[in-house]
Structures are given as C-alpha cells and as structure tokens.
C-alpha cells in the first residue's frame, strides 16, 4: 500500500505541474481527517501539492462528523481570518456560498471540464448560482456494514442479507459472549445507523418523503416507528462503554475481533486497510440488510474561501490536484470512498471499492441514490440537527419508539 501511494503521488505530481501553478506557495487546510486511515489518505494530497512546490499548513480539528471543525471555522471567518480551504459537506457548503464567503472556481472548472465528469448529485452542492465554489474529493456511501470474517466464521454465521438474518447473527454473537455491534455513542454516529435503518423500513420513496420532502405523514408513520424499534434492538446489542467513543475506535473493535459488526460509512474501510486487513479474507463489507439496491451518500469537498480577490494560485493548485483522475484514484483507494468523477478506472480498487463504484453507478441510474440525512446531504443543518436530537434521545433511552415518532414530527416541523 505504501509503495502504491508513492507511485501514485509521483504520477499525480507529474500530471499537475504547470507553469501557472508553479506560482503557488502554501495552503492552509482546515479538516477533520485525524484517524490513521484518514491521515494516510490525506498524505496523498499533501504529497501531490509538495511535488508542485506548494506548502501545506495543516489545521486538523478532531471529530468525525465535522461539527467541531465548523465551530472553529465560524470563529476564523468572524475574525476575518478564513483558511485557504476547508473540508465541507452538503448544505454547509451552500450556506457558506450564500453568504458570499467562497471563491469562484469556474475558470479552473472550465479549463479541466469538471461539468462533464462530476455527477449531478455532487454538483448540487459544489456549485452555487452557477459558480463552482468547492472541489469534490470523493463520494462516500453510508449504508455499509463491516464485519470481522473470522468471528463470523467461528460462530457459523453467514453474511446476513435481511433484517431477520441480521437479528439472528447478532443473537448468535451475543450468546457466544462477543459484543455483536461496535458503536460510538455520538449523535452523528447514531444518525448514521438511523439513516440505514430508516431506508430499510421506509424504502427509497419513503426515505425521500421523510428526509428530503419532510412529509409529516411519513415522518410520523408506522414504518418510522419500526425504524425506531430496530434502533432499540441495536442499542441493546452494543457494549456498555459505547458512549462518546470515536468511530475509528469502534472500527478497531471489529478489526481486533472484539465485536462482530459495525454500521458505518465506507471511511471505515480505511482503518481496515491501515491495519493491513484484506477485504473478503479478514473482513466483509456489505449493504445494511434491506438496502441492497439503495445508496445513501455524502461527498467530502474542499471549499475555497475568498481571500480578498480572485481565486489564488494556491487554491487553483489545490482544486486542480483534487479533481485530477490520478489523484481521485490514488486518494480513494486509501480512503475507502469512490471517485467524485465518473471517468476513473476501478483497476486499482479492492473488492469493496469495486463494489462501491458499481453500487453507486447502479443507484444513480435507477434513481436510488440519495443524499444522506445524517451527513447533511438530504436537508439543511437545522433539520439534520433536529433529527439528531430525537434519534440520540431515543437511542439513550429517553423516549420509547412511539414517543420518538411524535417528537420527530414536532422537531422537524419546528426546524424547517
């Protein structure tokens, strides 16, 4: 893997060295990629820029959902000291663009043909009023399950394809004295599981009605109560120390055989790869039972903040590097995600990566590709946070499922 990284970085640097970018000097990048697998992926981008003579000032803010990073960003912008580039998600990008805070990347985008290769679902967040304001790095899908293959094999458990099979697998692990589900009790992690669970009970039309259209009948319906019932089952099968645990520590529990399953986005794969684990041999990756034909996604992008004029040479260098085909392959092979452009080969991707690219293309073609509610790609932040509050309160036992449904309808109604 390290050899691959070095090779890819050299290729990308060679492709991207141009006279116009040689003027670039340094970028300050605010992000929340701080786990081992994420840091390894980010080094691909740092190496690309280094090859062009562009320095990198790192500003990491720990917190897997990015909430802490956004708090720091608001303080920086308020103080008139915005970073060069900031990792952003979904509606957060649009909110900053609406405030006039982001630089215009149209010249870079036109020169390199972004409109022809970036899917419309990503452009909906990367462009504002016809102007490119961010550079998409990847597409993550969030409705994955990760499993320790040796643990499952030792207990005679096949990869579950339905909710009932998943329940049986969980109960078998529990009977064997193994923590069935690794989880970190943080609001965004609770909501990530809820995303998949809700898709499995509501179906794609119901998911869109609830979390995109914000239809009160769907939010308060029987299928939503079933989703909360399933969340209660999951809550009963995590270990007692789950509260506050970072997502990558939950992934480590699966890697180390301390737990059977984790429901998490495909960034979790980066942790398995960083631990030298091989998909299909050491771990399994599959869609949450009941969502095999659907994909919920988020897309990491780098917003370019207006530095007081036209887009800087440093920002142009960073944006160009991010959208280059060679970088898109090299980065996403390590990160666990799939490329943000449609013309990248899957040749260098492992089995999970190839499956992710295939699933994404199929879901986009069939109309079953949906922005993730949990990761700010279905509804604005006010609604997302309202859902967070209800889901986490229910997960922690403050509401039963019937009450949670009522609270969800009220919370979304107030927030929208």
Q: What percent of the chain has pLDDT over 90?
A: 83
Strands (E) in 117-254, as ranges, are 127-128, 131-132, 134-136, 140-141, 144-148, 179-181
- Evaluate whether 84 touches 315 at the Cβ level (below 8 Å): yes
Greater model confidence, 106 or 17: 106
Instruction: Check for a shared fold between 2-140+298-356 and 141-296+366-415.
Output: yes
Domain boundaries, the chain: 2-140+298-356, 141-296+366-415
pLDDT tens readout for residues 255-269? 999 999 999 999 999
User: 141-296+366-415 — its CATH code?
Assistant: 3.40.190.10
Q: In what order do the strands lie in the sheet with 55-60?
A: 55-60, 26-31, 85-88, 301-304, 134-136
- pLDDT at position 9 is 42
Owner of token pair 């004029």: 309
Residue 149, pLDDT > 50, answer yes
Helix (H, G, I), strand (E, B) or coil at 9: helix
Q: Tell me the C-alpha distance between 162 and 63, whole Å.
A: 32
Q: What is the pTM of this model?
A: 0.86
Q: Which CATH architecture has domain 2-140+298-356?
A: 3-Layer(aba) Sandwich (3.40)
Residue 4, pLDDT > 60, answer no
Q: Tell me the C-alpha distance between 182 and 151, whole Å.
A: 13
- pLDDT at position 16 is 39
pLDDT tens readout for residues 379-397? 999 999 999 999 999 999 9
- pLDDT at position 148 is 98
Q: Tell me the C-alpha distance between 140 and 115, whole Å.
A: 20
Closest CA to 324 of 84, 113, 24, 27: 113
Strand partners, 59: 30
pLDDT tens readout for residues 198-238? 999 999 999 999 999 999 999 999 999 999 999 999 999 99
Residue 368, pLDDT > 70, answer yes
Q: What is the mean pLDDT of residues 305-328?
A: 90
pLDDT tens readout for residues 8-36? 444 444 433 433 333 448 899 999 999 88
Quick one: pLDDT band at residue 248, thresholds 50, 70, 90? Answer: very high
- pLDDT at position 36 is 87
């Amino acid at each position: 893997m390290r050899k691959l990284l070095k090779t890819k970085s050299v290729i990308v640097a060679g492709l991207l060295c141009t006279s116009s970018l040689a003027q670039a000097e340094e970028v300050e990048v605010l992000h929340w990629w701080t786990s081992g697998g994420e840091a390894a992926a980010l080094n691909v981008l740092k190496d690309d820029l280094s090859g062009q003579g562009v320095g990198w000032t790192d500003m990491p803010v720990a917190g897997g959902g990015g909430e802490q990073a956004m708090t720091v960003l608001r303080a920086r912008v308020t103080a008139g000291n915005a970073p060069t580039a900031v990792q952003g998600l979904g509606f957060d990008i649009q909110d900053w663009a609406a405030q006039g805070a982001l630089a215009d990347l149209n010249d870079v985008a036109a020169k390199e043909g972004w409109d022809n290769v970036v899917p419309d679902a990503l452009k909906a967040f990367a462009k504002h009023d016809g102007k490119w304001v961010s550079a998409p790095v990847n597409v993550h899908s969030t409705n994955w399950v990760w499993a320790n293959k040796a643990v499952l094999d030792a207990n005679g458990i096949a990869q579950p394809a339905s909710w009932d099979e998943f329940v049986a697998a969980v109960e078998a692990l529990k009977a064997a004295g193994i923590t069935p589900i690794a989880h970190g009790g943080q609001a965004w992690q609770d909501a990530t599981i809820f995303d998949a669970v809700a898709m499995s009970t509501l179906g794609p039309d119901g998911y869109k009605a609830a979390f995109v259209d914000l239809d009160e009948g769907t939010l308060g319906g029987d299928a939503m109560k079933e989703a909360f019932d399933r969340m209660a089952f999951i809550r009963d099968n995590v270990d007692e120390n789950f509260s506050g645990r970072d997502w990558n520590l939950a992934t480590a529990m699966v890697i180390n055989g301390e737990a059977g399953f984790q429901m998490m986005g495909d960034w979790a794969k980066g942790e398995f790869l960083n631990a030298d684990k091989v998909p299909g041999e050491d771990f399994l990756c599959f869609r949450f039972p009941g969502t095999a034909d659907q994909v919920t996604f988020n897309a990491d992008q780098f917003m370019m903040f207006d530095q007081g004029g036209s887009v800087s040479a440093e920002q142009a260098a960073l944006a160009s590097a991010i959208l280059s085909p060679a970088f898109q392959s090299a980065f996403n092979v390590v990160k666990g995600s799939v490329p943000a452009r449609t013309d990248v080969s899957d040749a260098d991707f492992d089995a999970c990566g190839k499956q992710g690219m295939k699933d994404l293309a199929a879901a986009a073609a069939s109309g079953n590709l949906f922005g993730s509610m949990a990761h700010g790609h279905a509804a604005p932040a006010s609604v997302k946070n309202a859902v967070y509050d209800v889901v986490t309160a229910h997960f922690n036992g403050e509401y039963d499922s019937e009450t949670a449904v009522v609270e969800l309808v009220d919370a979304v109604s107030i927030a929208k």
